[in-house]
Structure 1
């Protein structure tokens, strides 16, 4: 988080620590304050959000032609439960209520701080019995696009084992992607060579970011300098080259028993011809097998292609409330209509069964 904070001065950061009766830390919450622009919403949500915005502006419920000042508990740039951490022995329902009260107290005590809405993200199904305590504070839950997770088979010793575990048509597809991408030259990004590559990487990231349904904030790739310095080989950063030009990059972090995929950049004009993105997915898998991790968290977006390499959806829920009570009631009606983008789940492994197949 220090790396993100250092390279994103446009975002406000603060942290909440709960202390137990022995003056020891009992829970921790990471908070960011961002300017959310309605214009960043794309695809199927765009028309719905625009209607909500127009309606809210007419009633003076939303700031006119201004961004929404959004307080986020969680990591603005990464999917998953990265916002609240609690000691195992704590009553988690009580702790989340205390954190919620502390957030409100912080906002109310800082008169120069104007917050329009509060967002707590991203809770898995296993955590909803705790997170649902937020409803008592007028937070509204809604589902977002799932985190796509691949469970790495302990019997896979290399990528060939992974391919052998697939059904024929998916194995053929994978081999074709590997063949199409064989002309790509893949290089590790290091502290010594990162400066030369960052400008082209940033341009490729921008192409991907503009295709997303929405972005809470824009990631500054200069953050990679600090991440590589802090985590070394545990932070995966590779560039993909074609004829001495960068046409893609991938990033991620190895943490305990998982590989968390982070941002990628892609030259879309060359993507189909050279299967750049598919190659990245197989490279993530190859790295996970080599490092003997148990899971790969591929994150949101591109769910269908991620499912074609073996990832399955992990449902995520966020909780949102507007500071104004009237707006918050209207927001609840809007959120009831918000659903994750539907996609066709693939079942690429021999030991999987698609219940919808006959």
Structure 2
């Protein structure tokens, strides 16, 4: 059976029958409302939505974005010799490169491709790979392709990308807390911790006691939009790597579309916003999204540790089965009971010869190691 593909530039041009055929929208991250929120607010990104058809019926979907990144942003935070760094930087010739991402660049996890249930997974995923290849050929000034983020149980499917000259690379894991049904309150959760970690969690609450918190409405997000963007920029500036900066107008659209499922919580000190968290309740999971912190106040008032505690509170309050705390700061997240979920990405240079040089480098990239804490009794 041969497959065909259709590519759409905007969510609103996608036929409704495609969504109905895939039956994917129970996962909010594949819903047109979620995708539209990012598209409307981030106009500097080129979005493309790929649908794989069999007998004119949609059987697979891929979400792609084309973004411009500074090559030194990528290489400066990866462990390598100065000589290799110069080779990689020079390989791309320019300070700015255009990269085609398959997967949502603003989410950490397996949210870029969807394969319809009961369809042959390898064949439909291979059809996606071919369509991404064709899209790259039709895109001018493109330097690289990056397909993200796959769990270990998906690798038997996604490793077929290696036959298209992609190199696999491990990236920082998602940190996942599994919640137990008997934890009906934050106190129940802390009582399940070993003494050392219970003291740590309680200390974060005590040090942050001066902070006033507020769950933001759509109106609040609009009122504090500039402060939210500045605080978010603080975390970006402290991060090792970010492919793209999110325009937080996205939050207005997400709040309007998802109401109480999309959560933004502000932290105030003397009526001044000094931090925020955001999260999405997706079925039985609570997923941490972006945060923002005033780092000048962080140490004194334990803003970040309090945010992590509050993610646990939100997970319990929403009766979630697990909390995805996302990537980065893996060790401190493990002190709350989070465990790593390995993720693999695939990358290649668009041109054949540079890709020959790039592949061994990608395959040997080492992710940061961290101490995994075992916190429960």
Q: TM-score over 0.5 for the alignment?
A: yes
Q: For residue 313 of structure 1, report the CA deviation from its aligned partner.
A: 0.3
CA distance in 1, matches of 2:179, 2:78: 33
Instruction: Write out per-residue CA displacement over residues 17-55 of structure 1, whole angstroms, 9 at most, x where no aligned residue.
Output: 11123x22100000100111123247641765x745632
From 1, 25, 44, the counterpart of 2:58: 25
Kindly indicate whether the alpha-carbon contact (under 8 Å) linking 2:77 and 2:241 is maintained by their aligned counterparts in 1.
no
Residue segments in structure 2 that go unaligned for 5+ positions in a row: 1-34
RMSD: 1.5
Alignment of 1:233-272 (within 5 A): 233-272=260-299
Change over 3 Å in CA distance of 1:138–1:3 after alignment to 2: same
Deviation at 1:330, TM superposition (A): 1.2
Structure 1 gap segments, 5+ residues each: 351-358
Deviation at 1:116, TM superposition (A): 1.0
Q: Does 1:289 align with 2:319?
A: no
Residue 216 of structure 2 aligns with which residue?
A: 189
Supply the distance in 1 between the matched residues of 2:38 and 2:79 (Cα, whole angstroms): 28
Change (3 A) 1:317 1:87: same
CA distance in 2, matches of 1:43, 1:260: 28
Q: Is the 8 A contact 1:42 1:214 kept in 2?
A: no
> Residue 336 of structure 1 is aligned with which of 354, 358, 363?
363
Partner of 1:34: 67
Question: Could you tell me the TM-score, scaled by structure 2's length?
Answer: 0.88
C-alpha change, 1:137 and 1:175, in structure 2 (3 Å) is same
Structure 1 residues 180 and 52 mapped into 2: Cα distance closer, same or farther (>3 Å)? same
- Is residue 170 of structure 2 the alignment partner of residue 149 of structure 1? no
Picking from 36, 41, 50, the partner of 1:16 is 50
Deviation at 1:337, TM superposition (A): 2.5
What CA distance in whole angstroms lies between the structure 2 residues aligned with 1:52 and 1:101? 31
SS in 2 for 1:202: helix
Q: Which range moved further: 91-100 or 305-314?
A: 91-100
How many residues are aligned here? 343
Q: Deviations over 1:54-80 (max 9, x none)?
A: 32565xx42333x11100000011100
Secondary structure of 2:359's partner?
helix
Give the SS at the match of 2:209.
helix
Residue aligned with 2:134, SS: helix
The 3 A distance-change label for structure 1 pair 214 and 221 is: same
Quick check: 1:74 aligned with 2:106?
Answer: no
Are residue 98 (structure 1) and residue 132 (structure 2) matched? no
Q: CA deviation at 1:336?
A: 2.7
- Among 131, 136, 148, which residue is 1:107 paired with? 136
